[in-house]
């Protein structure tokens, strides 16, 4: 919660800095380039962090398959539920749907083909993983602070962009999308996780509690390590880390489709921080308020649902 408040403060600081007349030398083109370069650095550093994790290869060989499957099934469940909701709910009830759709089309027209970004992101992730794994062999590597500072820079400059393009937060906070996206994300993630739990013949409570991390790997991993043990805690940690990194790759895929808000859902709890810059880059600044709101709502469920669902079965 403390880190979420800090990110909101940094976003607000960037928003104030973007006021006309402040830092006039910081042209929009410079801001765009800083954001793009920072996104590349963030993804590389995340791969680096995973690669430098002690015993990562051993962990991947033992529990990596379960973790990867949970990431895939929770994302797939989210996609299915959100698209179903967007098809069932009348468009007039989705306030600002036309505005978001227009932004999505404009962003697609002015950007690279959607397939290029996932390839670039995946390449950076693999390069970061390989670099972290190799350097780890030569000594202890700390990456947490680097990733956090890159994230702070990104959020600050997103605030500047929001102010300069005069995105009205209140307009989107009052939208039905603010509730449809996070609730669809929570429901879809749990349904996807439940299906996998039956396939793997796991205890229902264990499978659902892993799925309830929604991409917040640090908290879910710690909670389940205390509730169950290091094995389930490691699955929760890795599966939600995989969800976060997979979301970074998949987010651009929904650009130009009829369901762009699905990209916010697959990001889960991370749509308010780590994946926010990628969402904004691919869909425009009008997606920032709903991404932040969705991330906050989804994140608030994690400390409640993980221990609660673990008790089932």
Residue 3 has pLDDT above 80, yes or no: no
What gap in Å lies between CA 47 and CA 199, rounded to an integer?
29
Residue 193 has pLDDT above 80, yes or no: yes
Structure-block tokens of residue 84: 């179903």
Q: Which pLDDT score, from 0 to 100, does residue 98 have?
A: 45
- Nearest Cα neighbor of 271 from 250, 304, 299, 249 is 299
Q: Which pLDDT score, from 0 to 100, does residue 183 have?
A: 94
Q: What percent of the chain has pLDDT over 70?
A: 79
Residue 85 has pLDDT above 60, yes or no: yes
Q: Which pLDDT score, from 0 to 100, does residue 205 have?
A: 94
* Helix-helix angle 116-136:28-51, to 10 degrees: 50
Q: Which pLDDT score, from 0 to 100, does residue 145 have?
A: 66
Q: Which pLDDT score, from 0 to 100, does residue 168 have?
A: 54
Which of 25-29, 184-188, 238-242 holds the top average pLDDT?
184-188
Q: Which pLDDT score, from 0 to 100, does residue 91 have?
A: 61
Q: Which pLDDT score, from 0 to 100, does residue 97 have?
A: 46
23: Cβ contacts below 8 Å, ≥ 6 apart: 17
Residue 70 has pLDDT above 50, yes or no: yes
Residue 114 has pLDDT above 50, yes or no: no
Q: In the predicted model, what is the mean pLDDT of the chain?
A: 79
What gap in Å lies between CA 211 and CA 273, rounded to an integer?
20
What gap in Å lies between CA 109 and CA 255, rounded to an integer?
10
What gap in Å lies between CA 274 and CA 271, rounded to an integer?
7
Question: Which pTM value belongs to this model?
Answer: 0.71
pLDDT band at 69 (very low <50, low <70, confident <90, very high): very high
Write out pLDDT tens, residues 158-182: 778 767 765 555 555 556 667 889 9
Give how far the C-alpha of residue 117 lies from the chain's centroid of Cα atoms, to the nearest Å. 16
- Nearest Cα neighbor of 151 from 32, 294, 8 is 8
Residue 113 has pLDDT above 50, yes or no: no
Q: Which pLDDT score, from 0 to 100, does residue 112 have?
A: 47
The residue-averaged pLDDT of 67-71 equals 93
């Amino acid at each position: 919660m403390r880190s979420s408040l800090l990110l909101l403060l940094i976003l607000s600081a960037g928003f104030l800095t973007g006021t006309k007349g402040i830092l006039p030398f910081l042209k929009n083109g410079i801001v765009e380039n800083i954001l793009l370069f920072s996104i590349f650095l963030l993804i590389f550093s995340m791969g680096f962090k995973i690669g430098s994790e002690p015993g990562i290869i051993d962990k991947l060989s033992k529990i990596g398959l379960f973790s990867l499957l949970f990431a895939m099934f929770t994302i797939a469940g989210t996609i299915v539920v959100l698209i179903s909701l967007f098809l069932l709910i009348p468009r007039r009830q989705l306030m600002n749907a036309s505005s978001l759709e227009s932004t999505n089309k404009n962003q697609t027209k002015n950007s690279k083909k959607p397939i290029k970004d996932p390839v670039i992101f995946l390449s950076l992730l693999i390069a970061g993983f390989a670099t972290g794994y190799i350097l780890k062999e030569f000594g202890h590597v700390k990456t947490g602070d680097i990733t956090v500072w890159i994230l702070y820079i990104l959020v600050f400059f997103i605030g500047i962009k929001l102010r300069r393009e005069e995105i009205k937060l209140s307009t989107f906070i009052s939208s039905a999308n603010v509730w449809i996206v996070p609730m669809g994300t929570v429901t879809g993630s749990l349904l996807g996780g439940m299906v996998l739990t039956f396939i793997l013949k796991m205890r229902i409570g264990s499978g659902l509690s892993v799925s309830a991390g929604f991409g917040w790997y640090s908290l879910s991993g710690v909670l389940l390590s205390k509730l169950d043990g290091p094995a389930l805690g490691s699955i929760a940690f890795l599966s939600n880390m995989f969800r976060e990194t997979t979301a970074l790759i998949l987010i651009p895929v929904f650009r130009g489709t009829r369901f762009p808000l699905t990209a916010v859902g697959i990001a889960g709890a991370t749509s308010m921080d780590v994946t926010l810059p990628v969402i904004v880059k691919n869909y425009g600044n009008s997606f920032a308020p709903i991404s932040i709101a969705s991330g906050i709502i989804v994140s608030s469920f994690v400390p409640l649902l993980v221990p609660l669902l673990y008790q089932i079965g």
